[in-house]
């Protein structure tokens, strides 16, 4: 949007995200992100820490579900979102709440490594079949019971780590069927 303050923030998760579901059934997560600017002291020539700042971040819906599942206190993160300033009253005193309504949150890979997995898609209720039972391997990898999920991730090697949940395949990658042979590509379900 043209008249919104977009914010990009790099910092560390200051406390574990707090997950809740609103009265209307919408997932929400709130977390605090801390950052400490570092500057070179001109007199000594050494790096010094500035004052640590804490920012409230709010996530909604699917982003909230994924943040609650993946982020933990102390982890480095990058946050993109809208800056929101809203007045409220507490104990008879008018105050301002400053927070970021996140549109994207992720681990800061300049400070460590992470592994990406697509979440499992829910079964469709209009008679379409579920693509397999949740098992220890497929469910955690975000697979919906396709060939790799049935074969298990242990036997699928590096190809399984890059799958996106489309019946066990990603364009350009071959999945393994039950016999360990490459399976053909399939269309998204």
pLDDT tens series, the chain, 189 aa: 577 889 999 999 999 999 999 999 999 999 999 999 999 988 999 999 999 999 999 999 999 999 999 999 999 999 999 999 989 999 999 999 889 999 999 999 999 998 888 877 776 665 544 444 443 333 333 333 333 333 333 333 333 333 333 333 333 333 434 444 444 443 343
- How far apart are the C-alpha atoms of 152 and 135, rounded to whole Å? 9
Residue 141 lies in a domain: yes
Residue 121 lies in a domain: no
Domain tally for the chain?
A: 2
Number of H helices and E strands in the chain, helices first, is 4, 10
Q: Please, is 72 exposed, middle or buried when counting C-beta atoms within 10 Å of its C-beta (0-12, 13-18, 19+)?
A: exposed
CB 130 within 8 A of CB 123: yes
- How far apart are the C-alpha atoms of 71 and 11, rounded to whole Å? 13
- The two tokens of residue 152 are 């298990």
Using alpha carbons, select from 141, 183, 181, 145 the residue that is nearest to residue 164.
141
Question: Are 87 and 34 in the same domain?
Answer: yes
pTM: 0.59
Question: Are 99 and 145 in the same domain?
Answer: no
Residue 103 lies in a domain: yes
Question: Are 20 and 102 in the same domain?
Answer: yes
Residue 187 lies in a domain: no
CB 174 within 8 A of CB 160: no
DSSP annotation of 184: P
The dihedral built from the CA positions of residue 61, 22, 96 and 70, taken in this order, carries a sign that is negative
- How far apart are the C-alpha atoms of 95 and 72, rounded to whole Å? 29
Domain with 52, as residue range(s), is: 6-107
- How far apart are the C-alpha atoms of 146 and 161, rounded to whole Å? 14
Question: Are 92 and 36 in the same domain?
Answer: yes
Residue 128 lies in a domain: no
Question: Are 141 and 87 in the same domain?
Answer: no
Query: What's the pLDDT score for residue 75?
Result: 96
Structural domain ending residue among the three candidates 88, 107, 126: 107
Residue 117 lies in a domain: no
Structural domain ending residue among the three candidates 87, 107, 127: 107
H-state helical runs in 44-143 = 61-70, 136-141
H/E element, 147: helix 147-151
Using alpha carbons, select from 70, 65, 79, 68 the residue that is nearest to residue 34.
79
């Amino acid at each position: 949007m043209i008249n919104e303050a977009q914010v990009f923030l790099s910092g560390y998760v200051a406390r574990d995200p707090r997950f809740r579901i609103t009265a209307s059934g919408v997932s929400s997560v709130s977390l605090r992100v801390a950052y400490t600017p570092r500057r070179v002291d001109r007199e000594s020539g050494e790096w010094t820490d500035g004052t640590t700042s804490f920012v409230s971040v709010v996530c909604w819906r699917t982003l909230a579900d994924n943040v609650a599942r993946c982020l933990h206190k102390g982890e480095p993160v990058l946050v993109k979102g809208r800056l929101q300033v809203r007045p409220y009253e507490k104990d008879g005193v008018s105050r301002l709440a400053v927070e970021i309504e996140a549109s994207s949150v992720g681990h800061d890979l300049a400070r460590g490594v992470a592994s990406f997995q697509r979440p499992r898609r829910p079964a469709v209720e209009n008679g379409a079949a579920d693509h397999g039972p949740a098992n220890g391997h497929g469910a955690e990898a975000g697979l919906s019971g396709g060939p790799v999920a049935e074969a298990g991730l242990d036997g699928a090697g590096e190809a399984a780590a890059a799958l996106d949940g489309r019946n066990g395949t990603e364009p350009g990658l071959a999945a393994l069927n039950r016999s360990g042979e490459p399976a053909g590509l399939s269309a998204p379900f």
